[in-house]
């Protein structure tokens, strides 16, 4: 791909890997070789980050006939046989969804729940989000199936036309769902907020997939450690770094421009560095991409800072 046709995202991906990897003191085998020797602008981005752990739950009720009394609500899952068939349908859909996901995700097996005690057992499992297939059952059972910890999330899936119609496709209401215009202002890493109308998916597995992708992004964003060149600040909002630290638990490591400028000058002055070639016809030379050698050479001059950066990246 010609250099002039490289888009900004691809260019930033390459240069960030080179500069950040060098400043953080990576060895040649861990970063330099992969960037300089095998970078392919047409290759899809690598899937990185902590996987999202999902616990699917099929919530249902077995109706028992009573003489001369109303005993059966509506909905397509009213028996153990129907519940087993629906659990198999859900497992198949989630297997396909997981296989197509472009983000890291671990999907627990589907758990069938028809009592409050069974719902309580679900929450003993390790998960980031509970995915409730609300087929039938009481409002008490629904509330018991939702994530009980404030820093966990819930998605409710209901069927209208994609399988047996769920009772809760009709019964979900503002009694159970927040509707405050999607305002997440009070939310934080300690409290993700209660179940909202936007947390409900009807029939659409593709919509479910992008919601899970968003939650995976949230998991990897909260508590992240970042390097702020020139210091952290917010345009028109000087309190932004504090909000980022308090609300999202971001750990911000500040690095001055003077230090970075010195490292860049050192690299540009090193004529032994080889160019990185995108194609045989279009080399991108070291003064543009900033390979890692000059940064690694600086380790003896700023050992403590290098150790701080390695700590940021989770190295020993």
Based on the domain organization, do 63 and 16 belong to the same domain?
no
User: 95 is written with which tokens?
Assistant: 């297997």
Based on the domain organization, do 141 and 64 belong to the same domain?
yes
Based on the domain organization, do 8 and 62 belong to the same domain?
no
Sign of the C-alpha dihedral computed for residues 154, 139, 113 and 170 taken in this order: negative
Helix (H) or strand (E) holding 98: helix 80-100
How far lies 166's CA from each of 34, 136, 158, 175, 309, in Å? 51, 6, 6, 18, 52
Look up the pTM and report it.
0.71
Decide if 160 is inside a domain: yes
How far apart are alpha carbons 261 and 231 in whole angstroms?
Answer: 14
Based on the domain organization, do 79 and 120 belong to the same domain?
yes
Note the pLDDT of residue 312: 52
Sole residue written with tokens 């890291």: 104
User: How far is CA 284 from its chain centroid?
Assistant: 33
Per-residue pLDDT of the chain (316 residues; tens, 9 = 90+): 444 444 444 444 444 444 444 444 444 444 444 444 566 778 777 777 899 999 999 999 998 877 877 777 888 899 999 999 999 999 999 999 999 998 999 999 999 999 999 999 999 999 999 999 999 999 999 999 999 999 999 999 999 999 999 999 999 988 888 876 655 557 888 888 888 999 999 999 999 999 999 999 999 999 999 888 888 888 889 899 999 999 899 999 888 888 888 878 887 787 776 655 555 555 544 444 444 444 444 444 445 555 555 555 555 4
How far apart are alpha carbons 65 and 157 in whole angstroms?
Answer: 28
Based on the domain organization, do 147 and 27 belong to the same domain?
no
Decide if 178 is inside a domain: yes
Decide if 233 is inside a domain: no
Based on the domain organization, do 145 and 62 belong to the same domain?
yes
Based on the domain organization, do 42 and 86 belong to the same domain?
no
Based on the domain organization, do 131 and 156 belong to the same domain?
yes
Query: What range does the domain containing 7 cover?
Result: 3-46+259-293
Decide if 97 is inside a domain: yes
Decide if 247 is inside a domain: no
Note the pLDDT of residue 180: 67
Sole residue written with tokens 């980031």: 128
Based on the domain organization, do 200 and 124 belong to the same domain?
yes
| Last residue of one domain, picked from the residues 196, 219, 242 | 219
CATH number, domain of 88, equals 3.40.50
Decide if 172 is inside a domain: yes
Domain count, the chain: 2
Based on the domain organization, do 30 and 104 belong to the same domain?
no
E strands, the chain, in order:
52-59, 105-107, 111-113, 129-134, 153-158, 200-202, 225-229, 251-255, 276-279, 282-284
Based on the domain organization, do 157 and 271 belong to the same domain?
no
Q: Are 130 and 156 in contact (CB under 8 A)?
A: no
How far apart are alpha carbons 70 and 14 in whole angstroms?
Answer: 67
Q: Can you name the residues that pair with 130 across neighbouring β-strands?
A: 55, 154
Decide if 234 is inside a domain: no
Decide if 316 is inside a domain: no
Q: Are 244 and 225 in contact (CB under 8 A)?
A: no
Q: What is the CA radius of gyration of the chain?
A: 26
- What are the DSSP calls for 245-300, one per residue? HHHH--EEEEE-HHHHHHHHHHHHT-TTPPPEEEETTEEE-HHHH--SHHHHHGGG
Note the pLDDT of residue 281: 54
User: How far is CA 113 from its chain centroid?
Assistant: 27
Based on the domain organization, do 178 and 140 belong to the same domain?
yes
């Amino acid at each position: 791909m010609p250099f002039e046709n490289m888009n900004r995202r691809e260019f930033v991906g390459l240069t960030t890997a080179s500069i950040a990897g060098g400043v953080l003191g990576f060895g040649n085998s861990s970063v330099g070789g992969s960037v300089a020797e095998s970078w392919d602008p047409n290759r899809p981005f690598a899937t990185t980050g902590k996987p999202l752990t999902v616990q699917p739950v099929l919530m249902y009720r077995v109706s028992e006939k009573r003489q001369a009394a109303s005993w059966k609500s509506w909905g397509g899952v009213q028996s153990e046989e129907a519940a087993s068939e629906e659990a198999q349908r859900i497992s198949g859909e989630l297997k396909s969804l997981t296989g197509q996901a472009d983000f890291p995700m671990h999907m627990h097996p589907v758990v069938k729940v028809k009592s409050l005690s069974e719902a309580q057992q679900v929450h003993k499992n390790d998960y980031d989000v509970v995915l409730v297939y609300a087929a039938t059952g009481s409002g008490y059972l629904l509330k018991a199936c939702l994530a009980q910890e404030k820093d966990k999330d819930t998605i409710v899936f209901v069927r209208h036309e994609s399988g047996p119609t769920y009772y809760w496709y009709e019964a979900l209401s503002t009694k159970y769902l927040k509707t405050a215009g999607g305002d997440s202002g009070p939310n934080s890493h300690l409290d993700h907020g209660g179940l909202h109308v936007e947390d409900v998916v009807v029939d659409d597995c593709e919509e479910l997939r992008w919601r899970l992708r968003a939650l995976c992004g949230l998991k990897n964003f909260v508590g992240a450690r970042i390097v702020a060149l020139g210091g952290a600040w917010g345009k028109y909002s000087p309190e932004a770094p504090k909000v980022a630290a308090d609300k999202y638990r971001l750990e911000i490591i500040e690095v001055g421009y003077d230090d970075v400028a010195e490292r860049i000058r050192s690299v540009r002055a090193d004529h032994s560095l080889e160019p990185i070639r995108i194609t045989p016809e279009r080399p991108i030379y070291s003064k543009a991409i900033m390979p890692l050698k000059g940064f690694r050479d600086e380790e003896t001059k700023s050992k403590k800072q290098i150790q701080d950066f390695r700590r940021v990246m989770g190295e020993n």
